[in-house]
A = this chain, B = another copy of it.
Amino acid sequence: MTLYMIGIGLNDEKDITVKGFEAIKRCDEVYLETYTSQLKCEYSALEKYYGKKIVLVDRDIVENKAEETILKNAKDKNVAFLVIGDILAATTHVDIFLRARKENINVEFIHNASVLSAVSIVGLELYKYGKTTSMPFPQKSYRPETAYSVIENNLKFGLHTLVLLDLDPENKKYMKISEAIEFLFDIEKRHGKGIITPTTKCIGCVRLGSPEKKIFVASTQELLKKEYENDVQCLIIPGTLHFIEEEMLEYWKKNS
């Protein structure tokens, strides 16, 4: 039988592709991975629309117990493994694919939108982004400075940086744009390289891929003062801008 790895997009139950929807209909078991991202709609809306019971699976099940659950079922049933956004964007999904193949399970991929292309809506050319980075929730003794050095390197080459902000969807915790800027200011204070100053222009995005998305274009100090809802967020530090990129940022400045 087949393990269908299906991206379900970024917002709600109707962001699935027709191909994905038809595949789910053929499945006896449907799993949804709940720890790397979060939709705007409730899980019950998915169940209702797909007409299937959905088993929610956390990191422990996917990474440590898939052999006894998902993969065991996929040996003699059609099984759907749903991923918010596109499939395989996270290492944890590559890993489950490889483990399925080791067990000789047939795997089919059904792609969907990911934040990495949905960010195109901001209007910065996708080819002009450098390495993507993320900003993890601060740990007690561990304060990673990766985002800062990635931004620094990208800026050297005039490239934009997408900073994905940490999220803990199972506990409904989302890092806010203002927190991310505070962390960057902190790192800047220690390094003093002038990479992130109060007047650095940046773009804060909430819930990309959704009709309810918010795109704020402003200086870091202005974005720091805003109130943000409790939802998936990211921050973009633009590099060198082409005139059509400038025009699009002006548009969002007036229409955020």
Residues of A within 8 A of B (CB): 7, 9-10, 12-19, 21-22, 85-89, 91, 94-95, 98, 101, 108-109, 111-114, 116-118, 120-121, 123, 125-134, 153, 157, 159, 209, 211, 242, 244, 247-248, 251, 255
A130 CB contacts on chain B under 8 angstroms: 130-131
A126 CB contacts on chain B under 8 angstroms: 89, 116, 132
CB distance from A201 to the nearest CB of B (A): 18
Among candidates B89, B101, B113, B129, residue contacting A111 with C-beta atoms closer than 8 Å: B113
A128 to B94, CA, bound (A): 15
- Once the chains bind, are B116 and A111 in contact (CB under 8 Å)? no
CB distance from A6 to the nearest CB of B (A): 11
Q: A89-B126, A118-B86 are in contact. Are A10 and B111 (CB under 8 A)?
A: yes
Oligomeric state, in number of copies?
2
CB distance from A247 to the nearest CB of B (A): 6
Supplied contacts A15-B17, A91-B244, A95-B244, 18 more A-B pairs, CB within 8 Å: A10-B111, A13-B18, A14-B22, A15-B18, A16-B17, A86-B118, A87-B120, A87-B121, A88-B120, A98-B247, A108-B211, A111-B118, A114-B116, A116-B116, A130-B130, A130-B131, A131-B159, A153-B157
A88 to B91, CA, bound (A): 27
A85 CB contacts on chain B under 8 angstroms: 117
- Once the chains bind, are A89 and B117 in contact (CB under 8 Å)? yes
- Once the chains bind, are A9 and B17 in contact (CB under 8 Å)? yes
